[in-house]
Structure 1
Amino acid sequence: MSEDSVQELELISTIGFNGSVPHGLLVHPDGEHLIYPLGCTVVIENIKTHEQNFLSGHTNDVSCLAVSKSGKYVASGQITHMGFKADVIVWDFEAKEPYATFTLHKVKVEALAFSPSDKYLVTLGGRDDSSVVVWDLKMREALCGAPSALQSAGTVYTVQFMNTTDDKFVTGGNKTLRIWDVDRSNRKIRPQECDLGQLKRDVRCILIDSTDEFLYAGTTSGDLLQITIKTHLFKNSGPAKDKYSLGVHSIAMLKDGTIIVATGGGIVCALKAGTFKPIAQKECTLAGGATSIAVRGIGHQLYVGVNKGNIYRINFSDFQPTCINSCHYSGVLDVAFPHGCGDLFATCGKENIRVWVTDTSTEVLRVTVPNMTCHGVCFMTDGHSIISAWNDGKIRAFKPQSGAAMYTIHDAHKQGVTAIATTSDSSRIVSGGGEGQVRVWDISSNRQEMKAAMKEHKGVVTCIKIRANNMECVSSSDDGTCIIWDLNRFVRNQIIFANTLFKAVCYQPEETQLLTGGSDRKISYWETLDGSQIREMEGSADGSINGLDISDDGNYFVSGGNSRKVKVWKYNEGEVTHVGLGHSGDITRVRVCPNSKHIISVSADGAILRWKYPF
């Protein structure tokens, strides 16, 4: 099939939010859209309808975001590899297209800010760059630049323009707080240090009041500094006694002058301007460290992003937080549907398993095991339990309705459980481990017993699939082998060798053939009878194949991997029919839902994408 005939896979929704980006959650000035980063993509989400648009153009993770006061522009900066330059992209919000691309900073863009009339954009390089640059948005070129701090100071982390003039902005960082004047006629920017007296602070966020009289700086020490802008002199600091745990990471101001602080300890609190005294009953604690806070409208609603991947909405009247967006905050390692049901699916990763409603992408269950990582998840066919594989060597079973623990198989594998599958009669679990063993477990209501251990793989077991008759299973490993096992005699029936690290394997529905993918970027067909290769195809031009799944009718299969593309193939012809672009990280697994309505793909950046099944 020619490239021209390959169609685009329709992306329905994403689940994901990179909460580690400082000030990465924004409310657009129209009050109707949230803007936030997800990997190397910027997501624009309608607050009421949850309709999403995606700004894709960065080559690596987005590291900072800003929106202009008029709402006309959105700017995003990225991080890249050592020795390379990092792009800043200015987007036209209405058109959802790039307006300009600025490339000057090295390795990382630390922060961005628009001038009040959209005349300038100021960008801040990271510690490998240590420069501040002012860009002329109309001319789409750099106006001037300078080192961001004195050599005696440390990294500069944040930048903010004044509210009434395009010719002044403020930067803050480790032992530095500077007010800059823009001299357009001479193409110069001139800094003046703020006089903090004996105070030494690491500034992480800056707020300027509406009249440009005072600036407020949030510090890692957990207090706020108030500076008089006209004189550059320190005026006040607070709170006087109890400083905020893990620092003040974001601050905002309401129309009436109330200051909202969000801290690394997860506290969100309203303070009186000038005195920094907390306002009674205007404080709440969130699950995770707050990294950004955005004000909607006149301040009746606040949106807070935390480093655990959640977005909270707080109504100022009662100050009670509501989690409106929840997602994995690190790589998603597996995805599974219940047997014959496409209405729900489960995902797993660091510390937790989550169950989602497919049509609405809402989370309905979360199972948390602190400080552990779940490598695999599946549902028992009878629907009575969720079975999971963990890096501490344990297999854990949970109730799918409540998430309550049912049983734990201790020491299932010495080097962690890396793959798991269940038989169709719900009587057995087959697991694979980091040491290369495949083990079979008999499961009953009150006992879990190892039936056999099969030791032929020399590397990590990456995937296990069981035949419908429960007489046979196949395991793939990064030692370059796939082994078909007899589950009655617990011996090898066939072995497949290839010059690759096998990442995924699955049975074709008739179970006469196997499909494999791995680090050599090839997708291969194999006979289950004798292990002979039938066909080999180039599955990806740039990166490993990490996930494969075949539709129930066997006519199509889906692949995904380090190329970050979801591909739909005709099984018999071996041709790509559709390609989905939207992932920002390496795809780790893909699944076709049992009713063939959706495709779910998950990736190493924590994103979960739902695609429309095209047939």
Structure 2
Amino acid sequence: MALERQDASQLQLEAVIGFNGHVISGLRVHPHREHLIYPLGSTIILKTIKDGKQEFLHGHTNNISCISVSKSGSYIASGQVNSMGFKAPIIIWDYEQRKEYAQLELHKAKVEALAFSPGEKYLVSLGGVDDDSIVVWNIETKQAICGSPASANSSGHCLTVQFSNTNDNVFVSAGRETYRVWELDLPNRKVRPKECQTSKLRRTVKCVEISEDDQFMFCGTTSGDIMKINMKQGLLTDCGPVKKKYNLGVNVLRVLKSGDLLVGSGSGTFSLCSSTSFATHKTVELEKGVTSIALRGEGQQFFVGTEASQMYRFSYDDFNPELISTSHSSAVNDVAICFGVSELFVTCSLEDIRLWHINKPKELLHITVPNMTCNCVDVMIDGHSIISAWNDGKIRVFAPQSGRLMIIIHDAHRMGVTAIAGTRDCKRIVSGGGEGQVRVWELLPHGHKLLETMKMHQAMVTCVTIKSNDKECVTASADGACIIWDLVRFTSLNMVISNTLFRSVCYHPEEYQIITSGTNRKISYWEVFDGSAIRDREGSQSGAINAMHISQDGRHFVTGGDDKMVKVWDYLEGEVTHVGIGHGGSITSIKLCCNNRTLISTSADGAILRWRFPHPPSSS
């Protein structure tokens, strides 16, 4: 089988567009002040603040759930989620070497939070709701010292941990009705918790910060206020603000050298407030909830991450947000590269379409359709329009320069538009729907006209590919059939059937063969003339193959799917030549630039990855 070849080379990852804004405190600034550190899927990205250059740490097998950086910056720790019943590993990374230092496994299903001790002797880890245990690890020996249930009773659930700023033996934890100060008893290999008393106040704490002198712990709550607890006495000393609480709770806190607090709320409010009276000094409203606040140096500059997968830069003095990074905050459903211009590509997701420059991971255009999902997207070959398919059953055509809505086709498909492609003459659109119909539309100067509805598929149409002469097309469907259609007479010419849910289909550039992929994990070659099967290749050892694309010279094609691996294939040999590992979620779409130099892949975790395509274009 092709996958058992051991000589497949590593595909070179050039850039990643994306930021997982849902990981609480997932955005960090390295103590050397040169790099931003943040997770995306199963990858940790180190991004140079000055010029935006990226490095990648690969090692996790599933989405990263938490991250921590040691005080000197020598170590980065990251935890992940895993399937129920399986252990979720923690990886400690050597920052200077950019490689794995240790892998630690005790927690089940999820690692909720991590924190380094100030002297970098220990790492404390917290398991998720199915685990709810605290473990202290010795960094030098890479072994667990001791562990304990995180909460005192079954009604409590711990959500966060934080180490003391001055003492390697003291840390705190908090969550739903649990607030504890822990002391490490090293000779007896135990941790001893002290319950903090909050009188009648009952809160769920989402985040904890400790004052520089270790006198107080500040707890941000889901109720929108902040509890101030004396760590030595374990007593609540204050709680505020009393009147104007933070909407949707306090997600993240940071204590500045001045003693003031930076507060990020679930509604997007970002504030600077007093740690004594909780009075607000400055405030701004950002898009969606604030999930990360990362200080650079003494806090004169800081970076903020949000649930909208946006990053902002602030300075302490003017407190004005500078948007430095944007990306999709949910699954990227499709990617299309502008024909003949290997510098621009388009992606689509929940509520939006974005236009990107291939060498600069910065969006050029952002089109939003609230509360709708864009299932797929294509760019007309003349570059004058972006055509898009939406789950509300509409086809929307936008101008790529301004994002202006040029044409909207209402009720294009009854169960949502699930596949779309434009003809080379830019006069027609072929669309597929959730109900299985294939429709051909003519674009007019001031509107559109339905030319034909073709009804043979029995389930959702997943892919439409049009022949270069615009006279034929092939559609793939979840009913296990691919149909070749005559676009002149609007009849079916051939059908191929397989025991699979087809996800993708491509014409070979010479157009005498098609290749398909789907849930049976196979790459299949078929004759266009009579629909006969030529050969099958095992495309994946686990999961469906969701996307494929073929090079213009026909010598190679690329695939991606639920195994999260990008694969480059030799077309004639049917063998994998290169494998790319970097996605943390299932690969949803993949495209190869017409110059055969760049490959773009997208995934369900919101990531867009740019790879160096390893095979130069054919000279013939």
TM-score by length of 2: 0.97
**Corresponding residue for residue 470 of structure 1:** 470
Give the AA of the match of 2:265. Answer: T
**C-alpha separation in 1, matches of 2:444 and 2:418:** 23
CA distance in 2, matches of 1:217, 1:121: 21
SS at match of 2:360: coil
Q: Give the share of equivalent positions with the same residue, in percent.
A: 53
Number of equivalenced pairs = 613
Aligned partner letter, 1:249: N
- Output the amino acid matched with 2:261: I
> For 1:220-250, what per-residue CA distance to the aligned partner results, in whole angstroms no more than 9, with x for missing partners?
1111111111211111122231001011110
Equivalent residue runs for 1:234-383 within 5 Å: 234-279=236-281, 282-383=282-383
Verify the 8 A CA contact 2:42 2:582 in the aligned structure 1: no
Question: What is the distance in 1 between the residues matched to 2:181 and 2:84?
Answer: 30
What SS does the aligned partner of 1:504 have? Answer: strand
In structure 1, the partner of 2:174 is 172
Judge conservation of contact 2:164–2:210 (CA < 8 Å) in 1. yes
Q: CA deviation at 1:535?
A: 2.3
Unaligned runs of 5+ in 1: none
1:396 is aligned with what amino acid?
R
RMSD: 1.3
2:527 is aligned to 527
Scaled by the length of structure 1, the TM-score of the pair is 0.98
Aligned mates of 2:211, 2:362 — CA distance in 1: 38
Instruction: Describe the shift of the 1:164–1:400 C-alpha distance in structure 2 as closer, same or farther (beyond 3 A).
Output: same
1:384 equivalent to 2:379? Answer no
Partner of 2:450: 450
Q: Which amino acid aligns with 1:596?
A: N
Which stretch of the first structure deviates more once superposed, 567-576 or 449-458?
A: 567-576
2:250 alignment partner AA: V
Corresponding position of 1:514: 514
> What is the alpha-carbon distance in structure 1 between the residues aligned to residue 24 and residue 186 of structure 2?
29
Counterpart CA distance in 1 for 2:162 and 2:21 is 20
Whether 1:503 aligns to 2:503 is yes
**Match of 2:254, SS?**
strand
* 1:78 matched residue in structure 2: 80
Deviation at 1:515, TM superposition (A): 1.3
Q: Give the secondary-structure state (helix, strand or coil) at the position aligned to 2:88.
A: strand
Shift of 1:4: 4.5
Deviations 1:189-217 (A, max 9, x none): 11111111121111111111111111111
Secondary structure of the 2:526 match is strand
Structure 1 counterpart of 2:134, from 132, 135, 152: 132
Alpha-carbon offset, residue 401 of structure 1: 0.8
Question: 1:149: Cα distance to partner?
Answer: 1.1
Preserved CA contact (<8 Å) 1:153 1:176:
no
Q: Secondary structure at the residue paired with 1:535?
A: strand
Paired position in structure 1 for 2:35: 33
Q: Deviations for 1:477-520, whole angstroms, at most 9, x for unmatched residues?
A: 01111000001111101111111111111111111111111111
Which letter maps to 1:413? H
Q: Distance in 1 between matches of 2:142 and 2:382?
A: 61
Q: Secondary structure at the match of 2:594?
A: coil
Q: What is the deviation of 1:573?
A: 2.2
Q: What amino acid maps onto 2:448 in structure 1?
A: Q
Matched, 1:119 2:121: yes
Letter of the structure 2 residue corresponding to residue 264 of structure 1: G
Residue pair 2:462, 2:477 contacting (<8 A) in 1 also = yes
Aligned counterparts of 2:98 and 2:484: Cα–Cα separation in 1: 50
CA shift at 1:26, angstroms? 1.0
Partner of residue 156, structure 2: 154
TM-superposed CA distance for 1:143, in Å, is 1.0
Structure 2 CA distance for aligned equivalents of residues 6 and 174 of structure 1: 49
Matched with 2:49 is 47
Matches of 1:338 and 1:108 in 2, distance apart?
A: 40
8 A contact 2:512–2:527 mirrored in 1: yes
Q: CA shift at 1:105, angstroms?
A: 1.1
Q: How far apart, CA to CA, are the structure 2 residues paired with 1:234 and 1:562?
A: 49
- Letter matched to residue 611 of structure 2: W
Q: CA deviation at 1:273?
A: 2.2
* C-alpha contact (below 8 Å) 1:543/1:563 kept by paired residues: yes
Distance in structure 2 (CA, Å) of the matches to 1:398 and 1:464: 20
Mapped partners of 1:160, 1:204: distance in 2: 12
Deviation at 1:339, TM superposition (A): 2.1
